[in-house]
Amino acid sequence: MTAGTVRTLGAARAPVAVAAATMAAVLASFGSALLLERAAHLHADVVMQAVVLAVTLSRAHRGARPSDRLIGFAVLPTVALASVGLGTLMRDDALAGDAAFAALVASGVWIRRFGPRFTKAGTLMMLPAIALLVIPHGGPGAPSTALLWAPVVALIAYSWVTVVQVAVERPWRAGHVEAPAPAAAGKRLPASTRMAAQMGVALCAAFAAGHLLFPDHWPWVVLTAFIVCNGARGRGDALHKGLLRALGAAGGTALAALVSGLFAPRDPDAVVLIFVVLGLAAWLRQRSYAYWAGGVTAALSLLYGYLGQSAVPLLHTRLEAILVGAAIGSGAAWSVLPFRTRDVLHRRVSESLAALTDVLKGEPHARARFEHSVADMDTVYGPLRLHRFVTRARPHPADVIDVLRETVPHVRALEHGVKGLRTNVAAVRRAVAGRDDGTPYRPLAADEGDAAHAIDAGLARIHAIYAPPPPDPKREPESPERARPAG
């Protein structure tokens, strides 16, 4: 690993480190909220709210800058307090409450157009509202005075997540990698506007279908539609997320059927097992979201049993609701201002190659930006890899991500810029842009180092994928002397 931020990013992305940090924050939030619940004589919902917020914050706020974390201490409690009123409105006036919920979440997506800091703020805006779908405010048996503790619960979860992540990431020992600025939209709508429109339509449809088909468990439809649409990088990514959530929920339901009835109601061993299952799910989530969906389903089964409810019938209903929500979320991504996952990859490849050009120029922090841009492609790799597997197409855009991943260690080993590499990177960037002007791609001379040749081999593969096909040569008519005789 390189020094500074790259080492920090690499450590943060390690599955074991991510899972350990997540569960440390979750357990600390659980313990603190439990003490608060007993001291203030609150309802058990506050403990579950703290756990839900800690889980979601651990993923959403990973790698945040110190300034963003400070802003979160002001934003999150404020939004948590607003969510109290939103939860009460959703309970007393379903139509108005559902509309307000959809507007809040869609606006949190829309403001991403203004840059990384607004993206973080938008995420924080949505989290307390999304927690309403898991543990509703003002549920049966919850005293109205307890609702005023929502900002305190939010601060507890946010504080523990911040403490754990700062300790793991050690920002004071690392440089900072600026996220790339949003691409200019030109005449097309920004991606954030498209995603906000998709989210708004999906949530409205999910509320309607949920209340109609699952009147007692409609939040599961809405939550799934949100998960599928939130941050979906194109149509393929939304379809992929819906498929993984459905598969994970199906697997979790099967697992839950096996463990149902193992623990008596209020058995403390069930609580221990719930956190073990969540820890394993957080670890395996780095490989596939399906593991997380399955783990959450199994944990819910244990929670239902702990509360004395029959788990299996509820999980069957939950699976049906998830399938409906996944269909709604995927349908919105495909029908409302759609954009392709392949186009998202196209833009990110351009950003990675631009960062590689800066590396070869010797600009400071360029190597960290290159590695960060390559790692950022993980979010679109899943659907592209699945498409490659199904279609068996070769070459395939997913190959570009494989090539850039393989290039990272060779870029680290490159001691100085190579002029021929800069020329070839420029040629590949033109090919990605669909241009055939400028100096053409030519393999490096034999006297360059091994790292340079390894990078150049990767550039050749990317060039072969994106380079426009050569024009067909015009065929000149044969002269009568060279023409074949008939017969």
Task: List, for residues 146-167, the tens digit of each pLDDT value.
Answer: 567 888 999 999 999 999 998 8
Asked if residue 20 and residue 159 are part of one domain, the reply reads: yes
Asked if residue 53 and residue 196 are part of one domain, the reply reads: no
Asked if residue 296 and residue 281 are part of one domain, the reply reads: yes
| CB-count exposure of residue 482 (10 Å: 0-12, 13-18, 19+) | exposed
Residue 384, both tokens: 């592209």
CA angle 378, 384, 385 (to 5 degrees): 85
Q: Is residue 176 part of a domain?
A: no
Asked if residue 151 and residue 8 are part of one domain, the reply reads: yes
For residue 234, which phi and psi values (nearest 5 degrees)? 100, 175
What pLDDT shows up at residue 311?
A: 64
Q: 339, 356, 385 — which closes off a domain?
A: 339
Q: 313, 339, 365 — which closes off a domain?
A: 339
Q: Is residue 421 part of a domain?
A: yes
Q: Is residue 282 part of a domain?
A: yes
Asked if residue 2 and residue 57 are part of one domain, the reply reads: yes
Q: Is residue 178 part of a domain?
A: no
Asked if residue 236 and residue 246 are part of one domain, the reply reads: yes
Asked if residue 365 and residue 326 are part of one domain, the reply reads: no
Q: Is residue 59 part of a domain?
A: yes
Q: In the block, which residue shows the tokens 């002029």? A: 419
Asked if residue 123 and residue 42 are part of one domain, the reply reads: yes
Asked if residue 257 and residue 240 are part of one domain, the reply reads: yes
Q: Is residue 478 part of a domain?
A: no
Q: Is residue 186 part of a domain?
A: no
Q: 315, 339, 363 — which closes off a domain?
A: 339
Domain range for 218? 192-339
How many residues are there in the chain?
Answer: 487
CA angle 53, 113, 289 (to 5 degrees): 45
Query: Per the structure, how many domains does the chain have?
Result: 3
Nearest to 43 by CA among 130, 145, 156, 160: 145
Asked if residue 4 and residue 65 are part of one domain, the reply reads: yes
Q: In the block, which residue shows the tokens 């149902």? A: 260
Asked if residue 102 and residue 135 are part of one domain, the reply reads: yes
Tens of pLDDT along the chain (487 residues) come to: 343 344 434 444 567 888 889 999 999 999 999 999 888 888 777 888 888 889 988 888 887 788 878 888 888 888 888 888 888 888 889 899 999 999 999 999 999 888 887 888 888 888 888 888 877 655 444 444 456 788 899 999 999 999 999 888 765 444 444 444 444 444 578 888 999 999 999 999 999 999 999 998 899 999 999 999 998 888 999 999 999 989 988 888 788 777 767 777 778 888 888 899 889 988 888 888 888 888 888 887 787 777 777 667 777 888 899 999 999 999 999 999 998 898 899 999 999 999 999 998 888 888 999 999 999 898 899 999 999 999 998 889 999 999 999 999 999 988 776 778 888 999 999 999 888 787 888 888 877 788 888 999 999 999 988 886 655 555 455 554 444 444 4
What pLDDT shows up at residue 101?
A: 94
H-state helical runs in 40-115: 45-60, 66-92, 94-110
Instruction: DSSP letter for 232, please.
Output: -
Q: Is residue 394 part of a domain?
A: yes
Asked if residue 412 and residue 372 are part of one domain, the reply reads: yes
Nearest to 161 by CA among 27, 41, 348: 27
